[in-house]
Amino acid sequence: MSKLEALIRNQHTFFRSGKSKEREFRLNALKKLREGIQLYEQHIIDALNQDLNKSEFESYSTEVGIVLEEIRFTIKNLHKWMRPKKVKTPITHIGSSSYLYAQPYGVTLILSPWNYPFQLAIAPLIGAIAAGNCAIVKPSELTPNTSNLLHRLISELFPKEYITVVQGSIEASQALLQENFDYIFFTGSVPVGKVVMEAASKTLTPVTLELGGKSPCIVHNDANLKLAAKRIAWGKYLNAGQTCVAPDYLYLHKSIATDFILHLKRAINDLYGEQPLTNPNYTRIVNEKHFNRLTAFLNEGKTVIGGRTIKEIRTIEPTVLVNITWEDTIMQDEIFGPILPVLEYDQLDQVIEGIAKHPNPLALYLFSEDKRTQQEVVKNVSFGGGCLNDTVYYIATPHLPFGGIGTSGSGAYHGKESFNTFSHHKSILKQTTRFDLPFRYPNVKNGLKKIKYFLK
């Protein structure tokens, strides 16, 4: 038996002991996780800086702070979420009552990515703990300092038969996918998501897939252009564009396109300075492979903002490209970097039709003051989630489930939805013994007539 097989077997044994299902055990685990993160805060920030050159502000606001808030919200509401939920019972079941019981799956696998290597490992783990599961976390090998930090933090907080971190390259992930898990939670690219789903299908293991896609950002002719430019620049170039819900491309109404580009240039200068490449707080591209992939896009269209790079430190300026069409290479797959292509339109129908011809985006952003325009887009475009007159910010509220649709993912999490994702909701009918309704039995007189009466 390999070490990995032994580890998973020990987690199954621990889960069957029932300890992780106890409410106080779950609450204590969440509190320990919160205290550990607070204790290791500077170490986490340092690791993120070493891996991605993230600033302290960005590291705290998008990685540390967001999971501390998630833990706080979960601790506050866990007792309510765990209570059996009474639901309605039809008249045909008179004398009985109906309940939903949240039951943990068991041993869960969390596969996390490199772009937000701390947040996207810990956020689903919060849900796994809250629901009463054991967990193995496999962080990305592309951010080794953060992965080492996660291993150190988790190993100090929890016994490995309850929660542990397994490090390694793609071979480690492949080995884990061959093992027997009760639930798999994956965050990453669409191609790897297909591999995860295929592996899970062999054992019919339930899966949540948090993937990506080309998320459109529409700026209509009635938008507040200055504010839209500021919020789009923030959402797009946060983490150097390496965000699954970043605006992937702009749809600009032709009547405001020129003015908007000017506002966007000013907004980028305000956020990152006139020389972003030398800004010590500007995030770099994760590795040379991704850097080379991104810089190839700079040959397309016309560069109107940015476009400069420094290969030695894998940094690309916040860039905007115009004269782009759907046929260009940059429009074929998710960009995942600080390059923003621009399409223009005359009528909103063109936008809706253009998006509909391509895979479902994970996010969508619309800037418009007109409620009818807002309703038309929300109603007629299929996407995971998004914002009206903002970008990205919707993922930071624990009251809104976060997830994709179609090729952008399946399932959702954050807040109560994280608890739900890592729980099986067991349906229970509690029947009375004080009386027994005879009409359901085959020997009752005029039974069919009575059933039709109740069910009409």
Residues 190 and 228 in one domain: no
Same domain, 147 and 17: yes
pLDDT at 447: 72
pLDDT at position 301: 96
Residue-wise DSSP of 218-253? EE-TTS-HHHHHHHHHHHHHGGGG--TTS--EEEEE
Mean pLDDT per 10-residue section of the chain, whose length is 456 residues: 92 98 98 98 98 96 97 98 95 91 98 98 98 98 98 98 96 95 97 96 97 96 98 98 97 98 98 94 96 97 97 97 97 96 97 95 97 97 97 96 96 97 97 87 79 72
Q: Answer yes or no: do 161 and 15 share one domain.
A: yes
Asked if 294 and 174 sit in the same domain, the reply is no
**Catalytic residue from among 134, 217, 244, 387:** 244
Do 207 and 226 share a domain, yes or no?
no
Residue 175: its H or E element: helix 170-177
Cα–Cα dist 70/33, whole Å = 11
The active-site residue, picked from 210, 317, 334, 417, is 210
Question: Would you say residue 446 lies in a domain?
Answer: no
| Residue 129 shares a structural domain with residue 261 | no
pLDDT at residue number 448: 76
Residues 372, 321 share a domain: yes
User: What per-residue confidence (pLDDT) applies to 354?
Assistant: 95
Per-residue burial over 45-83, b = 16 or more CB atoms within 10 Å of its CB, e = otherwise: bbbbbebbbbbeebbbebbbebbbebbebbbeebeebbe
Whether residues 107 and 243 fall in one domain? no
Do residue 364 and residue 282 come from a single domain? Answer: yes
The answer on 227 and 308 residing in a single domain is: yes
In a domain, 204, yes or no: yes
243 and 187 both lie in a single domain: no
Number of domains in the chain: 2
Given this model, what pLDDT does residue 280 score?
93
CATH number for the domain including 300? 3.40.309.10
At residue 414, the pLDDT reads 97
Helices marked H in 238-388: 257-272, 288-296, 348-356, 371-380
Residue 413: inside a domain, yes or no?
A: no
Q: How many whole angstroms separate alpha carbon 61 and alpha carbon 225?
A: 26
Residue at 455 is within a domain: no
Of 262, 266, 264, the residue nearest 236 (C-alpha): 264
3-state secondary structure of 337: coil
Q: Is 417 a residue of the active site?
A: no
For residue 440, the model assigns a pLDDT of 79
Question: If phi over 0 gives left and psi between -120 and 50 gives alpha, with beta otherwise, what is residue 241?
Answer: left
Query: What integer pLDDT is reported at residue 42 of this predicted model?
Result: 98
Task: Tell me, yes or no, if 369 is annotated catalytic.
Answer: no
Residue 29: give the domain boundaries. Answer: 3-211+422-428
